[in-house]
Amino acid sequence: MTDQFKITPDLWEPIVIEDREKDKIVRKSLTYWQDAWRRLKKNHLSMLGLGVIFLLAFAAIIGPTLSPYSYSDQDLNMSNMPPRLELHKLEDGTFVHVHKEYRLYEVSESGEILSRIQHTKEDMINKTREFEFNGNEIVIDYKLAAINKDVPNAPKFTLTINGQQNDTADKTVWNKTYLFGTDTLGRDIFVRNLFGARISLLIALVATIVQFFIGVIYGGVSGYVGGRVDNFMMRVVDIVDTIPLMLYVILLMVVLGAGLMTIIIALGSVYWVRMARLVRGQVLSIKENEFILAARTLGASPWRIMVRHLIPNSMGAIIVSLAMMVPSAIFTESFLSFIGLGVSAPQASWGTLASDAMGGLRTYAYQLFVPSFFISMTVLSFNFLGDGLRDALDPRLRK
């Protein structure tokens, strides 16, 4: 044997290090959820939406506790204060702000409202108000309000300080006392919008929990059992889905009264329907696979098969649906509160804030802009996050 085949050095060829390392697997093995998170982080809009949601939740929880005002505190002397203050400088170096309702306020140079200055005389016929403040005589003549009533951006009053007319503001500063201004009752709009964020995010949380626990279990049982049970359960879903949400809310208000609990029960009784249909379809497509047959062969109970195999394999579609239904729940709550079927006073939600601001839309547009901005920002953030989750959790898009 040795004579037939002799091992010599020329039979060997040294391996180049680059050739030896080229087949080495250097990428870390990732689970399904780790890979989904990796792909989600690459979607900048989704991460922006997620950041806005966390920031809004943090502000809603912490913000009202840091403010010296509560959502229900009223100060009629500070009603309808704008977020930007036009200041007129007096001879003694102090500043005053003339309100659109012809009230006068002492304001610091940085924008802090110090006090309201009460008028000493008012002539209703000549439409003038006279004030005395720190030795200064101030007169507000608001005859122009009737003349320029329908002219946008036209002056509505003339201001006279110590006999000299001073209609042009010396400077414009942000309102440091009320960041977003106040409403008609003198309540801080900033605090009330943060409190409204609590209610809207609570509604979103309740809708998510109801969808997950009721919709997923109901749809999973319906899809796995099949047959007459599936047919009966789906007819129940059809009946629930055909009754308008508005009718639910009105009937519950008759029984329970208006309030946050009524909205929660109304949304909880309706918002699981779409999730149940989605999970049923997922279960019907998965339950005939080989690994489900293997689980049955090994003696796994139906409950174990559904909890350990069917639902986990449907979690991608479930999470995406949850993320996409949250903005719908927030918008529905805002709409119901806007038409008077939501939370009761003095509680505030974005819908009630928008409804209260409609009366002064032409004069105090900022009161409507702030809750509308919060609603739009929140709904848009959840939509961005839902689109990103849909792409990240779809195995067919894996790279």
Tell me: the pLDDT tens digits for 376-396?
A: 899 899 889 888 888 887 665
**What distance in Å separates the CA atoms of residue 122 and residue 126, rounded to the nearest whole number?**
9
Tell me: the pLDDT tens digits for 170-201?
A: 889 999 999 899 998 899 999 999 988 888 88
Q: What is the pLDDT of residue 175?
A: 92
pLDDT < 50 positions in the chain: 1
In the chain, % of residues over pLDDT 90: 16
What integer best gives the mean pLDDT of the chain? Answer: 83
Report yes or no: 173 and 102 within 8 Å, Cβ to Cβ: no
Q: How many residues does the chain have?
A: 399
